[in-house]
């Protein structure tokens, strides 16, 4: 008997979740608004001729900081694994 109630509750939860997801997808195009990107596409060529550098270093400069942090982490981990004899880390 409890198996039947469990499957009923599971079916109800799945129905609610599915209806919520599909309700967000219907009418998605009218909900999109580019926002300030129209303004930056107009101002961009006045800053520098290279649109890629404009976006990477000026409009999304914070993401480039994260990219640099990834490079530092990769180099540190590689030197930890392959650096036996070249780096004295202390200990025994």
Sign, CA dihedral 44-48-54-59, equals negative
Nearest to other proteins of 7, 53 (CB atom): 53
Under the binding rule (CB under 8 A), the answer on residue 12 touching other proteins is no
Q: Rounded to whole angstroms, how far apart are CA atoms 55 and 40?
A: 9
| Nearer residue to other proteins within complex by CB, 21 or 71 | 71
d(CA 39, CA 56): 17
How many positions of this chain bind other proteins (CB under 8 A)? 30
d(CA 45, CA 65): 23
Tell me which residues in 33-52 interact with other proteins (CB under 8 A). Answer: 43, 46-50, 52
Q: Which residues bind other proteins (CB under 8 A)?
A: 43, 46-50, 52-54, 56-58, 61-62, 64-65, 68-69, 71-72, 74-75, 78-79, 82-87
């Amino acid at each position: 008997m409890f198996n039947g109630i469990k499957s009923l509750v599971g079916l109800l939860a799945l129905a609610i979740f599915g209806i919520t997801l599909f309700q967000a997808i219907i009418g998605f195009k009218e909900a999109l608004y580019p926002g300030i990107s129209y303004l930056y596409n107009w101002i961009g060529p006045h800053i520098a001729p290279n649109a890629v550098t404009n976006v990477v270093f000026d409009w999304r400069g914070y993401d480039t900081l994260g990219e640099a942090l990834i490079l530092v982490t990769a180099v540190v981990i590689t030197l930890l694994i392959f650096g036996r004899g070249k780096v004295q880390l202390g200990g025994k």
